[in-house]
Amino acid sequence: MSKISFLGAGSWGTALAIMLAKKGHQVTLWSKVEAEVSMLLENREHKERLPGVKLPDSIVITTDLEAACSGQELLVFAVASPFVRSVAKEAAAYILPGQKIVNVAKGIEEQSLDTLRDILAEELSQADISVLSGPSHAEEVAIGMPTTVVVGSASKATAIFIQEIFMNEAFRVYISPDIIGIELGGSVKNVIALAAGVCDGLGFGDNTKAALITRGIAEISRLGVAMGAKMETLGGLSGIGDLIVTCTSKHSRNHNAGYYIGKGYSVEEALAKVNQVVEGVHSAKAVSRLAKKYQVSMPIVEQICKVLFEGDNVDNAIKNLLTRDKCMEYPDLGWIEAD
């Protein structure tokens, strides 16, 4: 069994830590938030995020970053996207050359337009950095519900190493070399899920949800291909799979934030109601800027950004989407005209 540290003790990091500890790995769970660590030590349970799910006694819980990073066979970055760079900077002094790191968070940095792996590669250039993503709510993984994800790595050997660590009878792990496709699928879907939540908040039905998801994957695919991702990845677990689960689930903080906005709450009120980091809000501006940079059409992203940051009305956003210029569903398709 392996020595593994999780940096970040939110719901996702905690759920994965519980899963690996039950598999027999030596697990350390780190958080910078002293109150969070105290709560976990006292209750052996993340009462706010994963109520009723007990942490195995074997999990070491700490605020000591040096101790968490030292001597580990794998470091799992489970830090919310806005804090990945700052934690990486703090951890850099304790990361040895070749240290295997897998990032399990999702997002794009607004200022730099870097993916989270890009950030880690910049701040921890000495490390071997991979990503793990897919349709995987912490609330379900923590109680052993069947789940499938994909690991992306530049090295097949590293991908297999991480696959072996995480895979069990209820958590199936695939591997892939398409890191950018995995990251973009996992990041952009959060923005689309905000729009899906808005539609539910407005009381729209299944037709609307199906259209939103389908056109959402079209937008994700256009951007992904332009940035070098593979269509197979965007049609897989970290693309369409993660988009479906995030657009439809009660566990999705992005969907829930959008739902409250659709119900008439302000953006600030909606975020307060969710009371967790809503990754889609942090990624939306970056995705919009990437669309402009790569000259791809992303009308859903464009409209949700207007709602989030320009105070546009959600009814107006829906109208703008439905009344755009007429076009083909897939412009590359054409008719063979009879003579």
pLDDT digits (tens, 9 = 90+) for 280-331: 999 999 999 999 999 999 999 999 999 999 999 999 999 999 999 999 999 8
**Domain 180-322 listed as CATH 1.10.1040.10:** yes
pLDDT at 48: 87
DSSP 211-268: HHHHHHHHHHHHHHHHTT--HHHHTSIIIIIHHHHHHH-TT-HHHHHHHHHHTT--HH
Give yes or no for residue 339 having a pLDDT over 80. Answer: no
pLDDT digits (tens, 9 = 90+) for 213-246: 999 999 999 999 999 999 999 999 999 999 999 9
pLDDT digits (tens, 9 = 90+) for 38-61: 999 999 999 989 999 999 999 999
Catalytic site residue from 100, 106, 189, 285 = 189
The answer to whether the predicted template modeling score (pTM) of the entire model surpasses 0.85 is: yes
Phi, psi (rounded to 5 degrees) for 134 = 145, 180
Strands 147-152 and 128-133: antiparallel
Give yes or no for residue 113 having a pLDDT over 90. Answer: yes
The residues with which 152 forms a beta bridge, in sequence order, are: 131, 176
Considering the segment(s) 3-177 as one domain, its CATH architecture is 3-Layer(aba) Sandwich (3.40)
DSSP 26-58: EEEEE-S-HHHHHHHHHHSB-TTTSTT-BPPTT
Give yes or no for residue 131 having a pLDDT over 90. Answer: yes
106 is catalytic: no
In whole angstroms, what separates CA 153 from the centre of its chain?
16
Distance CA 2, CA 306 (A): 47
What ranges do the domains of the chain cover?
3-177, 180-322
Identical fold, 3-177 and 180-322:
no
Tokens standing for residue 113: 């337009």
